[in-house]
Structure 1
Amino acid sequence: MAKVTWEMSGEEAVGSSRTAFIKKIYELAEKDQSIVLVNCDCSPEGSMQDKFGKSFGDRFLDCGIAEQNACGIAGGLALSGKKVFCQAFGPFLSMRSVEFVYLDGAYNRAPVTYIGTHCGVTAEAGPTHAAIMDIAYMRAMPEMTIVAPTDAVVIEKLMEKAVEYGKPMYVRCARGEEPLVYKPEELDDFEIGKGILYKDGADITLIGCGNGVYQCVKAAEKLAKEEIDARVIDLHTIKPIDKDIILKAARETRGIITVEDHVISGGMGSAVCEVVEGSEDPETRVQVKRLGVPDCFFIQGSPEEVYAYYGYDAEGIYRSAKEMLGK
Structure 2
Amino acid sequence: MSEVKKIATRESYGNALVELGKEHEDLVVLDADLAAATKTGMFKKVFPERHIDCGIAECNMIGIAAGLSTAGKVPFASSFAMFAAGRAFEQVRNSVGYPHLNVKIGATHAGISVGEDGATHQCNEDIALMRTIPGMVVINPSDDVEARAAVKAAYEYQGPVYLRFGRLAVPVINDRPDYKFEIGKGVTLREGKDVAIIATGLCVNSALEAAEKLAADGIEAKVVNIHTIKPLDEELVVAAAKECGKVVTVEEHSVIGGLGSAVCDVLCEKAPTPVLKIGVQDVFGESGPAVKLLEKYKLDGQGVYEQVKAYIQ
Report 1:251-270 matches (<5 A).
251-270=242-261
Question: Out of 147, 164, 177, which is 1:185 matched to?
Answer: 177
Following TM superposition, by how much is the alpha carbon of 1:29 offset from its aligned partner in structure 2, in angstroms?
1.0
Q: Which residue of 2 aligns with 1:14?
A: 6
C-alpha contact 2:14 2:41 (8 A) present in aligned 1: no
The within-5 A match list for 1:300-315 is 300-315=287-302
Tell me whether 1:90 sits opposite 2:81 in the alignment: yes
- For 1:24 and 1:185, how far apart are their aligned partners in 2? 19
Q: Secondary structure at the match of 2:95?
A: helix
- State the alpha-carbon separation in 2 of the partners of residues 235 and 324 from structure 1: 21
Q: Counterpart of 2:307 in 1: which secondary structure?
A: helix
CA contact (8 A) 1:153 1:184 kept: no
Letter in 2 for 1:32: H
Kindly indicate whether residue 289 of structure 2 is the aligned counterpart of residue 297 of structure 1.
no
Question: 2:14 touches 2:42 (CA, 8 Å); kept in 1?
Answer: no
**Shift in alpha-carbon separation, 1:316–1:49, aligned structure 2, 3 A:** closer
CA distance in 1, matches of 2:222, 2:24: 40
Which residue of the partner structure matches residue 305 of structure 2? 318
CA distance in 1 between counterparts of 2:287 and 2:52 reads 34
In structure 2, do the counterparts of structure 1 residues 275 and 51 end up closer, same or farther at CA, with 3 Å as the change threshold? closer
Change (3 A) 1:320 1:98: same
- Following the alignment from structure 2 to structure 1, what is the Cα–Cα distance between the partners of residues 187 and 169? 22
Provide the rounded CA distance (Å) in 2 between the counterparts of 1:93 and 1:105.
Answer: 12
* Displacement of 1:44: 4.3
Percent identity over the alignment is 35
* TM-fit CA distance, 1:145: 0.5
Q: Classify the secondary structure of the residue corresponding to 2:15.
A: helix
1:30 Cα deviation from its structure 2 partner:
1.3
Aligned equivalents of 2:39 and 2:136: distance in 1? 27
- How far apart, CA to CA, are the structure 1 residues paired with 2:192 and 2:4? 23
1:184 CA drift (Å): 5.3
**Distance change (3 Å), C-alpha of 1:159 and 1:184:** farther
Give the count of matched residue pairs.
312
Structure-2 separation of matches of 1:247 and 1:197: 13
* Structure with greater contact order relative to length (CA < 8 Å, sep ≥ 6): 2
What TM-score results when the alignment is normalised by the length of structure 1? 0.91
1:41 to 33, 41, 63: 33
The answer as to 2:62 corresponding to 1:71 is: yes
Q: Which moved more, 1:263-272 or 1:290-299?
A: 290-299
Q: Which runs of 5+ in 1 are unaligned?
A: 1-7
Residue in structure 1 matched with residue 198 of structure 2 by the alignment: 207
Q: How far is 1:53 from its partner? A: 2.8
Q: Secondary structure at the match of 2:134?
A: coil
- Give the CA deviation at 1:25: 1.1
Question: For the aligned residues, what is the CA RMSD?
Answer: 1.8
Q: Give the partner amino acid of 1:304.
A: V
Between the aligned partners of 1:273 and 1:230, the Cα distance in structure 2 is: 19
Find the aligned partners of 2:294 and 2:39 in 1 and give their Cα distance.
30
Task: Decide whether aligned partners of structure 1 residues 18 and 229 sit closer, same or farther in structure 2, where only a CA change above 3 A counts.
Answer: same
User: Shift of the alpha carbon at 1:103?
Assistant: 0.9
Alpha-carbon displacement from aligned partner over 1:106-154 (angstroms, at most 9, x marks no partner): 1111111101101001221111111110001001110100000011110
Equivalent AA in structure 2 for residue 163 of structure 1: Y
SS in 2 for 1:217: helix
TM-score, normalised by the number of residues in structure 2: 0.95
State how far apart, in whole Å, the 1-side matches of 2:16 and 2:283 are: 36
CA separation in 2, counterparts of 1:126 and 1:179?
A: 23
**What residue in structure 2 maps to residue 101 of structure 1?**
92
SS state of the match for residue 315, structure 1? helix
Aligned to 1:172: 164
- Of 102, 110, 126, the residue aligned with 1:134 is 126
Question: Amino acid of the residue matched to residue 246 of structure 2?
Answer: G
Tell me the CA shift for residue 316 of structure 1.
Answer: 2.1
1:223 aligns with 2:223: no
Shift of 1:274: 0.6
Task: Spell out, residue by residue over 1:143-183, the C-alpha distance to the aligned partner (whole angstroms, 9 max, x if none).
Answer: 10000001111011111211110110101110131111110
